[in-house]
Amino acid sequence: MASATSRTRPQAPVARGAGSGSAPLRAATSTPTSLSTETASAPSPLDVEIALVRDARAALRGGDAPRALALLDEHTRRFPRGALAEDCDAERIHALCALGRSPEARTLATRFLTAHPASPHAPSIRASCGGGMN
């Protein structure tokens, strides 16, 4: 809370009403705080994509494939043509394998490998339950 108070003080009318020597310094120090606060409260779409895929990977590595799949579903809903769609698709195949849903994983793996044969994810997809029959 103390940091919220210190952020508020430079923006208060006192800074503008202070002597001419201190007002420019306070105004200059309050601007970066205001900008960083606004930036921190409104993540970019790419930041949201990164967080969803990162959290899905962490859930999958932690043994929580249902949560991973739910996060990947959310990514697909929110960002159907997102910058990380390929990563999301690869993680989805691994999540389906972890859930024992091999037929679905194979269908997606075939589609993935056809669309992205040189993907950095291709070797792990080929080695997964989805790629084993291709």
- pLDDT given at position 34: 47
The span from the CA of 76 to the CA of 33, in Å, is 34
Question: What mean pLDDT, rounded, does the chain reach?
Answer: 80
pLDDT level of residue 131 (50, 70, 90 thresholds)? confident
Q: What is the DSSP string of 2-59?
A: HHHHHHHHHHSHHHHHS-TTTHHHHHHHHHHHHHHHHHHHS--HHHHHHHHHHHHHHH
Contact of 126 with 134, CB cutoff 8 Å: yes
The span from the CA of 41 to the CA of 52, in Å, is 17
Each residue of 96-111: pLDDT tens digit? 999 999 999 999 999 9
Q: Report residue 131 as tokens.
A: 């790629």
The span from the CA of 26 to the CA of 43, in Å, is 27
In Å, how far are 74, 81, 85 from 116, measured between CA atoms? Answer: 22, 15, 12
pLDDT level of residue 41 (50, 70, 90 thresholds)? confident
Each residue of 57-99: pLDDT tens digit? 999 999 999 999 999 999 999 999 999 999 999 999 999 999 9
pLDDT over 50 at 16, yes or no: no
- pLDDT given at position 42: 87
pLDDT over 80 at 23, yes or no: no
